[in-house]
A and B are shown apart, each in its own frame.
Chain A
Amino acid sequence: MDFATLLQMLDATLRLATPLLLACLAGLYSERAGIFDIGLEGKMLAAAFLSAAIAAVTGNVWLGLLAGIGASMVLSVVHGLASITFRGNQLISGVAINFLAAGLTVVIAQSWFAQGGRTPQLTGDARFNPIELPFADALQNVPVIGPIYYELISGHTILVYVALLMVPLTWWILFRTRFGLRLRAVGENPAAVDTAGVSVIWLRFAAVGICGVLCGIAGAYLATALQAGFVKDMSAGRGFIALAALIFAKWRPWYALYACLLFGFLQAMSLRPDVIERVLSFQVNGQFLDVLPYILTVVILAGFVGKAIPPRAGGEPYVKER
Chain B
Amino acid sequence: MDIMPKWADVILIPLISILLAAILSALVILAIGENPWAALKLMVDGALGSTYGWGYTLYYATNFIFTGLAVSIAFHARLFNIGGEGQALIGGLGVAIICLFIPWPHWTLALLGAAIGAAIFGAAWAAIPAFLQAKRGSHIVITTIMFNFIAAAVLNYFLIGALKAPGMEPATPKFPEATHLPSFQDMFNFGDTTFFRGAPANITFFVALAACVALWALIWKTRLGYEIRSFGYSESAAKYAGISPTKIIMVAMLISGALAGMMAINNVQGEAERLVLNAVEGAGFIGIAVALMGRSHPFGVLLAALLFGFLYQGGAELALWTSIPRELIIVIQALVILFTGALDNMVRMPLERLFLSLRRAKT
The chain A residues found within 8 Å of chain B, CB to CB, are 38, 78, 81-83, 86-93, 95-100, 102-104, 106-108, 110-111, 114, 117, 237, 240, 243-244, 247, 285, 287-288, 290-291, 294-295, 297-298, 301-303, 310
Contacts and interface: CB of A to CB of B under 8 A. Distances in A.
B28 A107 contact: yes
Contacts of A310: 139
Interface in B311-363: 323-325, 327-335, 337-338, 341-346, 349
Contacts, number: 146
30 contacts: A81-B343, A82-B338, A82-B342, A86-B343, A88-B343, A89-B341, A91-B80, A92-B80, A93-B342, A95-B341, A96-B338, A98-B334, A99-B330, A100-B334, A102-B327, A103-B327, A103-B332, A104-B327, A106-B327, A107-B331, A110-B32, A110-B327, A240-B149, A244-B146, A287-B156, A290-B149, A294-B147, A301-B136, A302-B132, A302-B136
Nearest to B151: A291
A271 to B, nearest CB: 16
A291 B151 CA distance: 9
B4 interface: no
Interface string B103-144: 000000000000000000000000010001000111101110
Contacts of B292: 92
B334 A97 contact: yes
Nearest to A41: B145
Given A91-B141, A103-B328, A310-B139, A96 B323 contact: no
B66 interface: no
B330 A102 contact: yes
B362 to A, nearest CB: 25
B337 A294 contact: no
Nearest to B339: A96
Interface of B: 28, 31-33, 80, 82, 128, 132, 136-139, 141-143, 145-147, 149-150, 153, 156-157, 285, 288, 292, 323-325, 327-335, 337-338, 341-346, 349
Contact of B28 (A82, A92, A104, A237): A104
B285 A99 contact: yes
| Most B Cβ at <10 Å: residue of A78, A98, A111 | A111
A304 to B, nearest CB: 8
Nearest to B336: A96
A92 B346 CA distance: 15
Contacts of A81: 343, 346
Contacts of B323: 110-111, 114
Contacts of B80: 89, 91-92
A107 B333 contact: no
A288 B149 contact: no
B21 to A, nearest CB: 10
Nearest to B319: A110
Given A99-B330, A110-B323, A298-B138, A291 B153 contact: yes
Contacts of A99: 285, 330-331, 333-334, 337
B342 A88 contact: yes
Given A92-B342, A103-B331, A111 B138 contact: no
Contacts of B145: 38, 240, 243
Contact of A88 (B82, B149, B345): B345
Nearest to B138: A301
A77 B28 CA distance: 19
